[in-house]
Amino acid sequence: MKRFAIAIDGPNGAGKSTVAREAARQLGCLYIDTGAIYRAVGLYVRRKNVPPDDRAAVAALLPEIELSLRHGPDGQHVFLSGEDVSEAIRTPEASIYAATVSKLPEVRASLLDLQRRFAREGSVVMDGRDIGTVVLPDAEVKIFLTASVDERARRRYDELRAKGQDVSFEEVKRDLEWRDRTDSTRDIAPLRAAEDAVTVDTTGLDIDESVERVMQVAKERGYGKA
- How far apart CA 159 and CA 75 sit, in angstroms, is 18
Q: Decide if 45 contacts 97 (C-beta within 8 A).
A: yes
Stretch that binds ligand DC, among 33-41, 62-70, 71-79, 137-145 (CB under 6 A): 33-41
39 touches ligand DC by CB under 6 A = yes
- What character string, x for contact with ligand DC (CB under 6 A) and - otherwise, covers 101-140? -x-------------------------xxxx---------
Cα dihedral sign for 108, 110, 113, 114? negative
Task: Closer to ligand DC by CB, 61 or 98: give it.
Answer: 98
65 touches ligand DC by CB under 6 A = no
CB 222 to ligand DC: min, Å: 25
Q: Which of 34, 86, 202, 210 binds ligand DC (CB under 6 A)?
A: 34
Nearest Cα neighbor of 122 from 30, 207, 218 is: 30
Stretch that binds ligand DC, among 48-56, 67-75, 97-105, 168-176 (CB under 6 A): 97-105
- How does 83-110 read in b/e, with b if 16+ C-beta sit within 10 Å? eebbebbbbeebbbbbbbbbbbeebbeb
Stretch that binds ligand DC, among 20-28, 31-39, 49-57, 146-154 (CB under 6 A): 31-39
The full DSSP string for 34-97 is THHHHHHHHHHHHHTT--TT-HHHHHHHGGG--EEEEEETTEEEEEETTEE-TTGGGSHHHHHH
Stretch that binds ligand DC, among 59-67, 94-102, 161-169, 206-214 (CB under 6 A): 94-102
Q: Using CB under 6 A as the criterion, which residues of the chain lie in contact with ligand DC when the complex forms?
A: 12, 34-35, 38-39, 98-99, 102, 128-131, 179, 183
